[in-house]
Structure 1
Amino acid sequence: MSSASAPFHLILAYPDSAHSDYLIQVVQSGGFNPSITVCPDLETLYAAAADSPTNTLLLTELVWDGGDISEVILSLSLANPRLAPIIVSAYDIQALLPAFFPFPSVHGMEDAATILKHIAAYAEDLRGQNFGDYQIREIQGLTYMARTYAAYQPAIRREVFLNIQPATASAEEKDAFRQLVRAQAGNIHPNIYAIYEENEVQGRLFLSQEPVTSPTLFELALQDFTFDARLLARVLNTASSTLLHMRMNSTPHQPISAAHITLSSEGVIKMLNTALPRSSTVPDEASEIATLARFLRSFIPPDEPFDPQLAALLDSMENGSTSLTHVASQSQSIDLALAPEKFVPQRQEALVAQQEISKARKTSFYALIAGTIALTISTIFILYKVLFGVVLEVPATNFQGQALIPAGTVKAGGKEIEVKAFYIDEYETTIGQYEKFLAAVEGQDTKPYLPPDWQGFKENFRPVDWDGMMKSVRTNTFYARVGEKLTRDHPVFNIDYADAYAYAKWAGKRLPSEAEWQRAAAGDEALPFPWGKETDRNFTNTGLDMNDDENKNIKAAGVDGFRGPAAVNAFRQKIKDTSPFGVKYLGGNVSEWVTALPEYGPLKDEQRVVRGGNFNTPALVPNHYRVPQPENTAQPYIGFRCASDSLVGSKIN
């Protein structure tokens, strides 16, 4: 057996062209020279997937324009077995992915080594080769930690699917693969696709299993397929009795979805083997029952009478008033009641439709997507939520960059202050980062996180109107107090000094001092603004265009592009708010809490200091300017960033 990784085709699907350009450089740096298609939008991605050659890798983001496109990636992978998706995300999506997510993923584009490892692993093409006792025929896509091939076992004349781990698999990945195979091998049921063999060839683990050649309910739903009452009852009985079997055996498994159930042209209903290792959890019974009911409802013909018993059963499943035992029993009774007096084969029109769908999987399932599902992207998004019962929330970008600020001096009150070398975060602390902090310290005593000289008690570190802020994040709606749709990449605000101090301490960092902040903003030349000496208010996010001003012919967001705060990495129009050391938005967006120094002058009791301009203040704020604030002030235009004596994250300069 020889391993071949060329030729292959590469699709790069990113709404931000800079990400595609960067990944092209990464791929070429690894010695690969594939043909490349760049897709800046989903329509282009659909077309590229349809026209892709047999061995194609898809590198893509999971979050586009504030929305999760996992449903699109899944549909494309089902439609095109020759396509191998690899998620390379600028977002920190690891905590949001379900267990044993089918596609390899890289969390952070700076991890070039892992990106190249996945490309080398999944660009491999073993078609036409012998692998142990098997003759490999066709590529069938990806499964967890493995490439799937259709193969033939001559010794016993058996068609199989082979899940073959990459040659580069680590010891940990091999161990995880073995655990998964053992769990699935013990999950034996007539309605579950069988596991045949787990073995090793030339140091590479593989799994041999019953081939999956029938379309899934997910694929049928994309075709607007509908079921009569008896077929729906049969599907419900198969699914519920199989889930009941796994529950009775305390078998951890993936939560039920429409992609786990197949329906053959002969009317045979089976389920994929979704068992997980014993260290995983068994899904909540009521939740699985409700999900099953929701996606089966999508197969009921619209505007047609439907069996009242079956409708009542689906209602009870959704409202949590039944069990798998009852669902399995009732669905079987309904199936028998709806059976004709004399058995007849499956309806011819159903067989023809299913046969056409089976053919489509072997040719171009994209035609089906283009015909009925390419109605709108939102259609498939809604359908995915119904069929899978869950959609990932848009996660936070994995901001870890810190700038090294070399030792130097700044002026304060006519005197020079020596500033030792330190690190400062490239971006302001985001809502997504602060959300993780709140989750980590929930229920803990707040005292260890408070500033030593803090006066009074704090019950928690939640920002003012945190629930309202997160509602905007989760529903992609406007947050009225700032006039923007918030994301997890927006700077956190509505926080007081103690909130900022506590986050920094939890993160293993601290707040920068006034002198450090000024040094990071002004550089070696003591610039008046982070970008230089220009006083153009287009250069940062100020309050000049927070609202319409007819007297000055200014439209809201018409100057810098933002009414309220911008995402910390969003730079529209003429914005140039980057300091000489590469630190972003020190001059605007939100003002920032810092640690006050006596060299800058005295403060009143319980006062602290903020630095920098913000989206609420029309004027530019010079680097040397300080604004005293009561320490318990919490405003939509005040946030913070962190500093540290040593590197905590990744160095940017």
Structure 2
Amino acid sequence: MLAVLLLNACQPKKQSASSEKPTETQPTAEQVPTSQPEVSTEGMVLIPAGTYTMGGKSDQAYEDEFPRHEVKISAFYMDETEVTNAQFAAFVEATGYVTVAEKDIDWEELKNQLPEGTPKPADSVLQAGSLVFQGTDGPVNLQDYSQWWEWTIGADWRHPEGPESTIADRMDHPVVHIAWEDAIAYAKWAGKRLPTEAEWEWASMGGKTDSKYPWGNESVENASDKANFWQGKFPYQNYVLDGYETTAPVKSFPPNGYGLYDMAGNVWEWCLDKYDVRAYTEDAAEGTVVNPKGSAQYYDPREPYTPKHVIRGGSFLCNDSYCSGYRVSRRMSSSKDSGFNHTGFRCVVSK
């Protein structure tokens, strides 16, 4: 998605990057030190082992949520909340890490995601930045996401809406503008890892069987007190019935049956798995799959040149008319180098 939207970005929203732009001497994900062997599980909850049927649980399910198949999961610990700005700030202070959104874009790397012969965009478009949601004035074609995502120079985890914005009063909100590599780097430092999507789906149901949402099967129309998502007509009319137009502080809504917060809405969460639309077909052919790690390859025919990873759980932008991302079985994907102001993560530890 990042590559496609950059090509549409004839005029970036902001031309001046943040004064806090990091230097190029700071560590990459591979250079981030691993934490001490004794990893604390404080702030995590134990997710019990179990077997469940993974995949589409309603008539809203998409093709890549099928076929349904049996999965056996070992016990593991999971962060009770999405990683917050305060937690990510501690990681950056300890390591000097620089996120993908804070670095100018490498055209030689980006062009590999595009058809051969694609012309290089203006250098101004390739400055450090990220994608920020911009509501529209009225109804639009919901298949054309370029109408509500805007490439914004200077947008990053410290500046969610662009260089003039701040997280000073949002330290208990989930960190955003996090690319897959950034999430991996944090997890490595913390001595943790990202969840597989099979672990994520199992945990999101909170001990319920075939639950449609983390809170159960109560209609999303009556669930504005259960999660942070878009109530109204996306992407131009948001009634804000849940009280939050963008991200909400973690623990603003009730936890699921395992004690996990925001497994629906708030921000999308990165998983370990490479995104492959055929992954479930391959798993189903094996019978009961034990602790599946996902596909060995990337495959999305819609964007065949782009390596993507799975994201789960939906965000403050999710609505039934657009993505229904708050469903526990909903699979979505994002290019691994993309950051958005609705994407973050949480970590797990194997038991």
Question: Which interval holds the TM-score relative to the shorter structure?
Answer: 0.5 to 0.7
> Structure 1 residues 540, 485: closer, same or farther in 2, change over 3 A?
farther
| Counterpart position of 2:280 | 600
Distance change (3 Å), C-alpha of 1:482 and 1:429:
same
> How far, CA to CA, are the matches of 2:97 and 2:206 in structure 1?
42
Aligned to 2:53: 411
Cα distance in 1 for partners of 2:269, 2:154 equals 18
Q: Contact conserved, 1:428 with 1:491, CA < 8 A, in 2?
A: yes
**Alignment match, 2:336:** 631
Specify the code of the residue in structure 1 equivalent to 2:345: F
The total of aligned residue pairs comes to 219
Whether 1:613 aligns to 2:314 is: yes
Q: Which has the larger radius of gyration?
A: 1
1:86 corresponding residue in structure 2? none
1:533 maps to 2:210: no
Structure 1 position 609, deviation (Å): 0.6
Quote how far apart the aligned CAs of 1:548 are: 9.7
Task: Deviation per CA, 1:45-80: give whole Å up to 9, x if none.
Answer: xxxxxxxxxxxxxxxxxxxxxxxxxxxxxxxxxxxx
In structure 2, what residue type is equivalent to 1:402? M
Amino acid at match of 1:613: G
> How far apart in 2 are the matches of 1:481 and 1:487?
15
CA separation of 1:480 and 1:623: change in aligned 2, threshold 3 A: farther
Counterpart in the other structure of 1:495: 178
Residue number in structure 1 paired with 2:244: 562
- TM-score normalised to the size of structure 2? 0.55
Shift of 1:628: 1.9
Judged with a 3 Å threshold, the aligned counterparts in structure 2 of structure 1 residues 562 and 434 are, in CA distance, closer, same or farther, namely: same
- The answer to whether the Cα contact below 8 Å between 1:482 and 1:563 also exists between their aligned partners in 2 is no
- Distance change in 2, residues 1:469/1:508 (3 Å): closer
What does 1:496-511 correspond to in 2, within 5 Å?
Answer: 496-511=179-194
Alpha-carbon spacing, 1:443–1:402, altered in 2? closer, same or farther (3 Å): closer
1:642 aligns with 2:322: no
Secondary structure, aligned partner of 1:595:
strand
Measured in 1, the distance between the counterparts of 2:43 and 2:78 equals: 9
Taking the TM superposition and a 5 Å limit, the aligned residue runs for 1:182-581 are 400-412=42-54, 413-442=67-96, 464=130, 470=158, 486-524=169-207, 525-535=209-219, 536-538=222-224, 539-544=226-231, 555=239, 557=240, 559-571=241-253, 576=254, 578-581=255-258
Q: Secondary structure at the match of 2:184?
A: helix
Cα distance change of structure 1 residues 480 and 466 upon mapping to structure 2, 3 Å threshold: closer
Matches within 5 A, 1:97-246: none
CA 1:633–1:486: 2 relative to 1, 3 Å: farther
Counterparts of 1:403 and 1:500, CA distance in 2: 19
How far does residue 481 in structure 1 lie from its aligned partner after superposition?
A: 9.8
Offset of residue 635 of structure 1 = 0.7
Quote how far apart the aligned CAs of 1:579 are.
Answer: 1.7
Q: Would you say the 8 A contact 1:491–1:639 is kept in 2?
A: yes
Q: Deviations over 1:520-539 (max 9, x none)?
A: 11133231111111123412
Distance 1:436 1:481 in 2: 22
Contact 1:592 1:612 in 2 (8 A): yes
Instruction: Answer 1 or 2: higher relative contact order, Cα 8 Å, separation at least 6.
Output: 2
Instruction: Name the CA shift for 1:625/1:469 in 2 (closer, same or farther; >3 Å).
Output: closer
SS at match of 2:309: strand
Q: In 2, Cα distance between the equivalents of 1:595 and 1:523?
A: 20
| 8 Å Cα contact 1:410-1:518 kept in structure 2 | no
Q: Report the Cα offset of residue 489 of structure 1.
A: 0.8
Distance, in Å, in 1 between the alignment partners of 2:91 and 2:318 is: 29
Could you tell me how far apart the structure 2 residues matched to 1:482 and 1:518 are?
Answer: 33
- Work out whether residues 591 and 611 of structure 1, in 8 Å CA contact, stay in contact via their aligned partners in 2: yes
Distance change (3 Å), C-alpha of 1:484 and 1:548: farther
| Partner secondary structure for residue 424 of structure 1 | strand
C-alpha distance 468-521 of structure 1, shift in aligned 2 (>3 A) = closer
1:79-124 deviation per Cα after TM superposition (whole angstroms, max 9, x unaligned): xxxxxxxxxxxxxxxxxxxxxxxxxxxxxxxxxxxxxxxxxxxxxx
Going from structure 1 to structure 2, the CA distance change for 1:547 and 1:439 (only over 3 Å counts) comes to same
Q: CA RMSD in A?
A: 3.5
Q: SS where residue 231 of structure 2 aligns?
A: helix
Contact 1:479–1:486 at 8 Å: present in 2 too?
A: no
The answer as to whether partners of 1:490 and 1:568 remain within 8 angstroms in 2 is yes
- What is aligned with 2:9? none
Evaluate the alpha carbon distance shift between residue 470 and residue 545 of structure 1 in structure 2; reply closer, same or farther with a 3 A threshold.
farther
CA shift for structure 1 position 549 = 6.2
Q: Give the secondary-structure state (helix, strand or coil) at the position aligned to 2:273.
A: coil
Q: Which residue of 2 aligns with 1:303?
A: none
Which amino acid in 2 is paired with 1:563? E
- What TM-score results when the alignment is normalised by the length of structure 1? 0.30
Pick the structure with more helix per residue: 1
In structure 2, stretches of 5+ residues that fail to align are 1-40, 55-66, 101-108, 111-127, 131-152, 282-294, 300-305
Q: CA deviation at 1:618?
A: 2.0
